[in-house]
């Protein structure tokens, strides 16, 4: 039994998608950002950083969406969210998970939360630099998917594609969203057609891409 503390469309999205792909029994607990529920002392005992996601597994609380995706893939190999352990494909899969976490997710944090750097808004030069860094990631992924896609692991879907599509969704209101890159849009369309994606939108009451 899993308990996922989430906020609609936030970084918890990929963990929720993974649970739906697996078909595992789970409970959802909404962390209402508008009500500052992430700062509630009870929640901070589970996640001292006051962010989502938090996944409780057998009474133990874990965080970090990319790490939780890897944990679920290991606990449920039958769901094939990752290639088998000990294979070259598994090593490549781990590479993509860490890359997406270290580059896109960390840069997005700066893009969306200038307060993390003590600012209310960034100077235009810094905002442009962050945009270039994000778009540079899209350029690299576009080349990879164009040459070897349609998925990050080639012809086979994996949990890495769930993570990437969540991150593409976050770009939807940026000056140049990820779906303007053709191979990235193709991947996004494939993931958005999956039952897990449609079910998540229903549960989390999401409507916009």
Domain residue ranges of the chain, discontinuous segments joined by +: 2-80+196-204, 88-194
pLDDT in tens, 110-155: 999 998 888 888 999 999 999 999 999 999 999 999 999 999 999 9
Rounded Cα distance between 25 and 160, Å, is 22
Q: Average pLDDT over the chain, rounded to whole?
A: 97
Please tell me the predicted confidence (pLDDT) of residue 115: 87
The answer as to CATH 3.40.30.10 being correct for domain 2-80+196-204 is yes
Rounded Cα distance between 38 and 43, Å, is 6
Rounded Cα distance between 153 and 30, Å, is 32
pTM across the whole model: 0.96
The second-level CATH assignment, the architecture, of 88-194 is: Up-down Bundle (1.20)
Mean pLDDT, residues 188-201: 98
Q: Please, which pLDDT band fits residue 188 given cuts at 50, 70 and 90?
A: very high
171's CB contacts (< 8 A; 6+ apart) are: 134, 138, 177, 178, 179
Q: How much of the chain is helix, strand and coil, in % rounded to 5?
A: 60, 10, 30
Backbone torsion region of residue 123, taken as left when φ is above 0, otherwise alpha when ψ lies between -120 and 50, otherwise beta: beta
């Amino acid at each position: 039994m899993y308990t996922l503390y989430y906020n609609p469309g936030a970084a918890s999205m990929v963990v929720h998608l993974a649970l739906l792909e697996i078909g595992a029994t789970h409970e959802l607990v909404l962390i209402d950002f508008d009500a500052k529920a992430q700062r509630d002392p009870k929640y901070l005992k589970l996640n001292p950083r006051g962010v989502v996601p938090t996944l409780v597994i057998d009474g133990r609380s874990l965080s970090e969406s990319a790490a939780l995706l890897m944990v679920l893939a290991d606990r449920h190999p039958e769901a094939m969210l990752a290639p088998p352990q000990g294979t070259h494909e598994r090593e490549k899969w781990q590479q993509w998970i860490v890359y997406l976490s270290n580059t896109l997710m960390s840069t997005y944090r700066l893009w969306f939360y200038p307060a993390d750097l003590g600012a209310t808004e960034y100077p235009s030069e810094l905002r442009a630099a962050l945009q270039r860094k994000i778009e540079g990631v899209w350029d690299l992924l576009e080349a990879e998917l164009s040459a070897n896609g349609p998925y990050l692991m080639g012809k086979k879907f994996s949990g890495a594609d769930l993570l990437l599509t969540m991150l593409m969704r976050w770009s939807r209101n940026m000056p140049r969203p990820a779906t303007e890159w053709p191979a990235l849009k193709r991947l996004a369309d494939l993931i958005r057609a999956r039952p897990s994606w449609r079910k998540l939108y229903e549960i989390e009451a999401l409507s916009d891409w």
